[in-house]
Amino acid sequence: MSESCCPSDEAIRKLSHKHRNVLWAVLLINLGMFFVEAIAGFLSGSTSVLADSLDMLGDASIYGGSIYILNRSARAKNSMALAKGILMGVLGLGVIIDAIRRFFEVELPHSDVMTVVGAMALAANLTCALLLLKHRGDDMNMRSTWLCSRNDVLASTGVIVAGLAVSYWNSRWPDLVIGGAIALLVLHSSWSILRDAAREMRQKP
């Protein structure tokens, strides 16, 4: 096989260095937004904002794990992808439980806080998605991190829509519906990552 068909060790090291820099950037962005949204979700009584904050925390953990396994074996990367999928599944179920709990509350969430924080989260998630976009096809590890970032863009958009809808209809239902939808999106991605990682592990002994 010619050298042109296989990346050199130097090319692999350069690619891993780029991955590390990108992953550190998106990790810090997500961790910062987790604290902002967790506080805002608690103070505003919003399920959708709280759901998005937990998604941010899950992604920060995922990006940290992705940094840890850089330059490790394909099996290690697939094992980490399995861990990512499990973590996302647990967080998604946690949000659904919270939405059910808030269903019995009568107080409306603060729609203005939801809209502003949702816009901040959307800007942060678009930045992360653009940083990860060109690396999504590099390997399983980077693909799973890009999926997380893509989901965050959709989730943050949902938070903004929920905030506007709560204000317009003076109802808590939009917040509960969007919060539940974010949870389902997280669960779907969890299943996708677990399925792909399991397939990779079966193909590579």
Report how far residue 116's alpha carbon sits from residue 23's, in angstroms, rounded to the nearest whole number.
26
More confident residue, 200 or 28: 28
pLDDT tier at 7, thresholds 50, 70, 90? very low
DSSP H or E segment with residue 99: helix 74-103
Phi, psi of 148 (to 5 degrees): -60, -45
**Average pLDDT of the chain, as a whole number:** 79
Report how far residue 43's alpha carbon sits from residue 114's, in angstroms, rounded to the nearest whole number.
10
151: nearest Cα among 24, 64, 59: 59
49: nearest Cα among 35, 37, 58: 37
pLDDT tier at 179, thresholds 50, 70, 90? confident
User: What is the model's pTM?
Assistant: 0.75
Angle subtended at Cα 159 by Cα 156 and Cα 162, rounded to the nearest 5 degrees: 155
Lookup: tokens for 95: 């949000």
At which residue do the structure tokens 């050298």 appear?
Answer: 3
Q: What are the residue ranges spanned by the domains of the chain?
A: 8-203
Which pLDDT score, from 0 to 100, does residue 65 have?
A: 75
**How many angstroms separate the Cα of 66 from the Cα of each of 9, 21, 146, 149, 154?**
20, 11, 11, 13, 22
98-121 in b/e burial notation, b at 16+ Cβ within 10 A?
bbeebeeeeeebbbebbbebbebb
CATH of domain 8-203: 1.20.1510.10
Number of neighbours of residue 1 by Cβ within 10 angstroms: 5
Percent of the chain, pLDDT > 90?
24
3-state SS assignment for residue 103: helix
Report how far residue 11's alpha carbon sits from residue 138's, in angstroms, rounded to the nearest whole number.
13
Average the pLDDT over 3-25 and give the result: 56
Average the pLDDT over 108-116 and give the result: 92
Task: Using CB atoms within 10 Å of the CB of residue 23, give its burial: 0 to 12 exposed, 13 to 18 middle, 19+ buried.
Answer: buried
